[in-house]
Chain A
Amino acid sequence: DTGVSQDPRHKITKRGQNVTFRCDPISEHNRLYWYRQTLGQGPEFLTYFQNEAQLEKSRLLSDRFSAERPKGSFSTLEIQRTEQGDSAMYLCASSSQREGYGYTFGSGTRLTVV
């Protein structure tokens, strides 16, 4: 297991289309996080899974956003009816319950809505 994988790396979509991103965490990590990073900013928390349960959601996660983690393995983040303001880097991270070692982030999916 070489780390957190995200697919695709880049996505260009037209406004109004739906997009779905995938994240494969480190296999022994039971915690999974989605963050969004806009230009010139640090990442902002979107949502958190422990195993298959989505336990925390940010107010940034509007009704157009939905995330799943079936079977507690990979996760998907879907954005419906994309808007130009959704253009950002979407980062996935995973961690174990061991303290002090932060998250392991993936390389992100860069979304451009045109």
Chain B
Amino acid sequence: AQKITQTQPGMFVQEKEAVTLDCTYDTSDPSYGLFWYKQPSSGEMIFLIYQGSYDQQNATEGRYSLNFQKARKSANLVISASQLGDSAMYFCAMREGRGNTGFQKLVFGTGTRLLVSP
């Protein structure tokens, strides 16, 4: 079963508008973390925002906010006031696992391509 599901292969938004990118997750671990990364065409993964499973408030970082609905297991990314430079792939990821080594790996969804038009 998919651990992270991103159902929107592509999204279009006009500059200055807000856009929501969907992400649902599946885990039985009570302690987990959710991340959003941006990947421009150059390839690097840029960290945007983090939400811990025990955080009481939704995370915000500038124009990015995470709409965390724990009961629904969703962690949607909201980008306000879109800019042309926001055009990129966006990946939702979940940190899971804490074995003997204390290791936690990130599990990624398949991504959503966002295109911002003038």
Where the two chains meet, the residues of A that have a C-beta atom closer than 8 Å to any C-beta of B are 33, 35, 40-45, 48, 50, 55-56, 89, 91, 93, 99-108, 110
A107:B106 contact, CB within 8 angstroms: no
Which residues from chain B contact A35 at a C-beta distance below 8 Å?
106
Q: Could you say which of B4, B52, B105, B111 contacts A48, with CB atoms under 8 Å apart?
A: B105
Query: B: which residues have CB within 8 A of A?
Result: 4, 33, 35, 37, 42-47, 50, 52, 91, 93, 95, 99, 101-103, 105-111
Expressed in whole angstroms, the Cα–Cα distance for A48 and B47 within the complex equals: 19
How distant is A35 from chain B, measured CB to nearest CB, in Å?
8
Please determine whether A100 and B52 come into contact, CB atoms closer than 8 angstroms.
Answer: yes
Please measure, in the bound complex, the distance between the C-alpha atom of A108 and the C-alpha atom of B46, giving whole angstroms: 12
Please give, as numbers and ranges, the residues of chain B lying within 8 Å of A93 by CB-CB distance: 45
Q: Are A56 and B47 in contact (CB under 8 A)?
A: no
Residue in chain A with minimal CB distance to B89: A42
The interface residues of chain A lying within 8 Å CB-to-CB of B93 are: 42, 102
A74 to B50, CA, bound (A): 27
Are A105 and B44 also in contact (CB < 8 A) when A50-B101, A56-B101, A56-B103 are?
Answer: yes
Closest to A97 in B: B102
Chain A residues with CB below 8 A from B95, complex form: 102
> B44 and A48: CB pair below 8 A?
no
Complex partner residue of A100 from B33, B37, B45, CB under 8 angstroms: B33
Identity of the chain A residue whose Cβ is nearest the Cβ of B9 in the assembled complex: A40
Contact between chains at A44 and B108 (CB < 8 Å): yes
Q: How far is the CA of A91 from the CA of B108 in the complex (A)?
A: 13
Q: Once the chains are docked, how many angstroms separate the CA of A82 from the CA of B59?
A: 43
A107 in contact with B43 (CB, 8 Å): yes
Query: Which of B37, B52, B103 has the largest number of chain A CB atoms within 10 A?
Result: B103
Partner pick for B110 among A41, A50, A110, CB 8 A cutoff: A41
CA distance A59 to B61 in the complex (A): 35
